Amino acid sequence: MKILISADMEGATGVTWPADCLPGTPQWERCRRLFTSDVNAAVLGFFDGGADEVLVNEAHMTMRNLLLEEMDDRVAMLTGRHKALSMVEGVQHGDVDGIAFVGYHTGAGDEGVLAHTYLGNSLTGVFVDGVRASEGLLNALVVAEYGTPVVLVTGDDRACEDASGYAPQARTVAVKDYVSRYAAVCRPPAATAAAIRAAAAGSVTLAVRHAPAGPRERRMEVEFDAEHLAGAATVVPGVEQTGERRVAWTAPDMYEGIRCFKAVTTLVSAAVEEWYG
Ligand SMILES: [Zn+2]
């Protein structure tokens, strides 16, 4: 039994503001230890529950945040950027029985600690077939195309609520409670690690690969906070401007949908100026 962990940092224990998860800052140096504690707790729990193989895919910013030297020695870790499936890289080989979203957060436009979808700013909403989507929902739709169920989600309490929509069967662990986008009531790592480890162990029975969801056309829409960003996004073939600050495109499946979304966010971030956006 093989488990993949997609590890994002905004939803980690103790993380509540941008510098906490901005590589290179003193706050990040501290918080990456808390993040490593969450991820390692999930690793230990999955092995407790009977997994034979656990692969951690780093999914935050530079994708170089976790401290490998502090992880359980049975784990394998995929570190670094530029991967075909980004946050869920590794699922496409068809041998992953279950996936965990550790350190996840709610999407752009929603309540939640450090809520966003891919870009920290500029993007006010992402929609798939008319439904507002978080990174968790987007990635859950991608992994469903490979028959892999989401078995565990950790983050703030809002991220756990969000998961009940896209993966109702998954175990969830709230490591902090939302107060504002930059404030939360946090639990210490000793407490959150114990809760994550127990939930991961209990979720292993949910890790049963099913028939891959067949290709299904998806209508993707993105809303920005400025009109010129919508214009910038239309450089991507197939992406059309559908409103003053909105673009949309139709993808044959989620694999293509998420890859096009990546192209859109890359182009748009290059079109953002420091002060006027
Ligand atoms: Zn992140």
Tell me how far the alpha carbon of residue 9 lies from the centroid of ligand 1, in angstroms: 5
- The C-alpha angle 230, 225, 143, rounded to 5 degrees, equals 75
Tell me how far the alpha carbon of residue 267 lies from the centroid of ligand 1, in angstroms: 18
Would you give per-residue pLDDT tens digits along the chain (277 residues)? 999 999 999 999 999 999 999 999 999 999 999 999 999 999 999 999 999 999 999 999 999 999 999 999 999 999 999 999 999 999 999 999 999 999 999 999 999 999 999 999 999 999 999 999 999 999 999 999 999 999 999 999 999 999 999 999 999 999 999 999 999 999 999 999 999 999 999 999 999 999 988 889 999 999 999 999 999 999 999 999 999 999 999 999 999 999 999 999 999 999 999 888 8
Q: Which residues pair with 154 in a beta bridge?
A: 173
Tell me how far the alpha carbon of residue 36 lies from the centroid of ligand 1, in angstroms: 14
Tell me how far the alpha carbon of residue 253 lies from the centroid of ligand 1, in angstroms: 24
Fold of 218-271: Gyrase A; domain 2 (3.30.1360)
Tell me how far the alpha carbon of residue 138 lies from the centroid of ligand 1, in angstroms: 14
Which residues in the chain belong to E strands, given as ranges? 2-7, 53-58, 76-78, 98-104, 123-128, 131-132, 150-156, 171-180, 183-186, 218-224, 240-243, 246-251
Fold of 2-117+134-206: Rossmann fold (3.40.50)
Q: Domain map of the chain by residue range? A: 2-117+134-206, 218-271
Decide if 88 contacts 38 (C-beta within 8 A): no
Tell me how far the alpha carbon of residue 272 lies from the centroid of ligand 1, in angstroms: 19
pTM given for the model: 0.97
pLDDT in tens, 189-200: 999 999 999 999
pLDDT in tens, 202-255: 999 999 999 988 889 999 999 999 999 999 999 999 999 999 999 999 999 999
Q: What amino acid occupies position 85?
A: L
CA distance 15 to 93: 32
Q: Do domains 2-117+134-206 and 218-271 have the same CATH topology?
A: no
SS3 229: helix
Q: Which residues pair with 224 in a beta bridge?
A: 123
